[in-house]
Amino acid sequence: MELNRLSAHELMGLLDKGDISHVDICNSIIDSIDKKDKSLNAIVNFDKGKVLERANAQKGLPVFIKDNICVKDELTTCSSNILKGFRPPYNATVIEKLLNRNAILMGKTNMDEFAFGSSTETSCYGTTKNPWDLERIPGGSSGGSAACVAADEAIWALGSDTGGSVRQPAGLCGVVGLKPTYGRVSRYGLIAFASSLDQIGTLTKDTEDAAILLKIISGHDPMDSTSVDRPVPDYAKLIKKDIKGLKLGIPKEYFIEGMDKEVKQSVLDAIKKLESLGAACENISLPHTEYAVAVYYLVATAEASSNLARFDGVQYGLRSSQAKGVIDMHKKTRGEGFGDEAKRRIILGAFALSSGYYDAYYLRALKVRTLIKKDFEDAFKKYDAIITPTSPTPAFKIGEKTEDPLTMYLCDIFTISANLAGIPGVSMPCGFTKSNLPVGLQILGKAFDEETILRIAYNYEQGTEWSKRKPGI
């Protein structure tokens, strides 16, 4: 039996019965990585010896961590040259929570530099490939986490989602990607991209695993003022209830001109399926959707320009060897350490905050953000969840959009609003294109109602076969 191909809850069952050991699981994963990761490049920091040591000491499930989540004494670089060699002196809260459950930390997964991207092409470690087609991108920025779960190099993985960075790669790689409500999971130890949008999320093989992993990492953290003190429900149990009578909204703004026809058809089919499972689907409008991308790229870059200012060569990471004097050290270190997309976003964000432009850009963006949030609040007064495609297209070719940042930014057009509104969203496979590329279905829910969106996802998953398909790699 290839254990690496199983879901976490399946493995838990086998472990309980004593049929297999934790070391067996790790070995199976190690084999899979040995076989596939040379071509996938999903994993950026992986030490077999260490993993086996941990597997012998800790009786939990192996987990991969996106490279922007701090693991004590382990390389944590955000796939950026500027953090080369950085080993945090502390664990992120989610890591502590995983370790409390005896999880075996396997290593770090590739990502767009500082999570700036939708294709994992901006990583200093090179592009991660889509397991369904090695010439295509896996989505991003959590492309490494999505690809390694899709390719069975992992049981499950953590990612982070600032504008779709968990859901979009999940959609393009055919796995389940969950972005929890802002405040549901502690951000302590997640290297910030945009503090008001970032949320750690899960990449799993099915919905039940998402529910299990979410419960493990959720909860109030006194170290994160934005984490919310609310009880954490037993998601895995609650999602198994049927969805009869649930009211689902289908926003017309999410079925746009120019979107891929196969994607559209798969999502429309999925909606029919949900109706057949007892849900009532209705067309709705989220009128401010068209502003989401613009608002996002002001708010997110503004915050990023500030969050990334600390990489100045003083305390950790890269320090340019060419510098003369302190200001020159800041300049050269940042010049050498950041990639083009990081520089582009820092400049854009700094501009949006600069005096004379603040009101016209940043402040106005905040106001429109409130309107977008209100769109959702109004919709959720009537509907239990909202159904949309995750992305307008399936995975595109490597290099196809790198020359045109704006086209790249539009990849997140359907995922960004959830971050602006702070609401939870999950992406799951809902079909395949003729060329065998996965299509993602996005389910958005009320704040702190992960239970309902996972319940819809679980019921849909039970009624379809999409989640069971595996890439050929």
Q: Which of 3, 8, 302, 457 forms a contact with other proteins (CB under 8 A)?
A: 302
Identify the active-site residue in 32, 145, 160, 165.
Answer: 165
- Is position 69 an interface residue for other proteins (rule: CB under 8 A)? yes
> What is the DSSP track for 363-393?
IHHHHHHHHHHHHHHHHHHH-SEEEEES-SS
383: region left, alpha or beta (phi > 0 left; psi from -120 to 50 alpha): beta
Tell me if 192 contacts other proteins by CB under 8 A.
yes
Cβ 169 to other proteins, closest distance in Å?
A: 21
- How near is the Cβ of 325 to other proteins at its closest, in Å? 10
CA gap 470, 175 in Å, rounded = 10
Q: Is 165 a catalytic residue?
A: yes
Nearer to other proteins, 1 or 363 (CB): 363
* Residue 443 binds other proteins (CB under 8 A): no
Q: Are 337 and 80 in contact (CB under 8 A)?
A: yes
Q: Which residue in the set 273, 353, 364, 464 belongs to the binding site for other proteins (CB under 8 A)?
A: 353
Is 195 a binding residue for other proteins by CB under 8 A? The answer is yes
d(CA 406, CA 265): 26
* Catalytic annotation present for 186: no
According to the binding rule CB under 8 A, does residue 224 interact with other proteins? yes
Q: Using the rule CB under 8 A, is 355 a contact of other proteins?
A: yes
Nearest to 8 by CA among 245, 232, 175, 233: 175
Whether 66 is catalytic is yes
Buried b (16+ CB within 10 A) or exposed e, 50-71: ebeebbeebebbbbbbbbbbbb
Options 253, 312, 375, 450; binder of other proteins; rule CB under 8 A: 312
What would the two tokens of residue 274 be? 């949900």
Output 89 or 245, the one with its CB closest to other proteins: 89
Q: Closest CB to other proteins among 78 and 426?
A: 78
Q: What are phi and psi of 338, to 5 degrees?
A: -90, 145
Q: CB of residue 473 vs other proteins: minimum separation in angstroms?
A: 32
Residue 73, Cβ density class (10 Å: 0-12 exposed, 13-18 middle, ≥19 buried): exposed
Least distance to other proteins, CB of residue 4, Å: 29
Question: Judged by CB under 8 A, which of 100, 265, 354, 436 binds other proteins?
Answer: 354
Per the structure block, which two tokens stand in for 202?
A: 């899960």
Using alpha carbons, list the distances in angstroms from residue 64 to 15, 197, 287, 336.
19, 22, 38, 29
Q: C-beta of 384: minimal distance to other proteins in Å? A: 27
Pair 313, 319: CB distance under 8 Å: yes
The dihedral sign for the CA sequence 121, 158, 210, 454? negative
The residue range among 272-280, 310-318, 339-347, 379-387 that interacts with other proteins, by the rule CB under 8 A, is 310-318
One residue of 21, 27, 58, 306 binding other proteins per CB under 8 A: 306
Near other proteins by CB under 8 A: residue from 362, 380, 448, 458? 362
How many CB atoms neighbour CB 421 within 10 A? 24
**What sign results for the dihedral spanned by CA atoms 99, 103, 107, 110?**
negative
Sheet holding 62-66, edge to edge: 43-46, 104-109, 62-66, 156-161, 199-204, 176-179, 425-432, 438-445, 385-389, 247-251, 280-284
Active site residue: 28, 80, 118, 141, which one? 141
Q: Binding of other proteins at residue 158 (CB under 8 A)?
A: no
Which of 255, 291, 316, 432 is close enough to bind other proteins by CB under 8 A?
Answer: 316
Tell me the window of 182-190, 276-284, 388-396, 430-438 that interacts with other proteins (CB under 8 A): 182-190
Say whether residue 223 binds other proteins (CB under 8 A): yes
Q: Does 322 bind other proteins (CB under 8 A)?
A: no
Report how far residue 170's alpha carbon sits from residue 207's, in angstroms, rounded to the nearest whole number.
12
Q: Which of 66, 97, 205, 446 is catalytic?
A: 66
To which residue do tokens 């003369």 refer?
324
Q: Is 310 in the site for other proteins (CB under 8 A)?
A: yes
User: What positions carry a catalytic annotation?
Assistant: 66, 141, 165
Q: Which residues bind other proteins (CB under 8 A)?
A: 69-70, 76, 78, 83, 86, 88-90, 92, 187-192, 194-196, 222-226, 302-303, 305-306, 309-312, 314-316, 326-327, 330, 350, 353-355, 358, 362
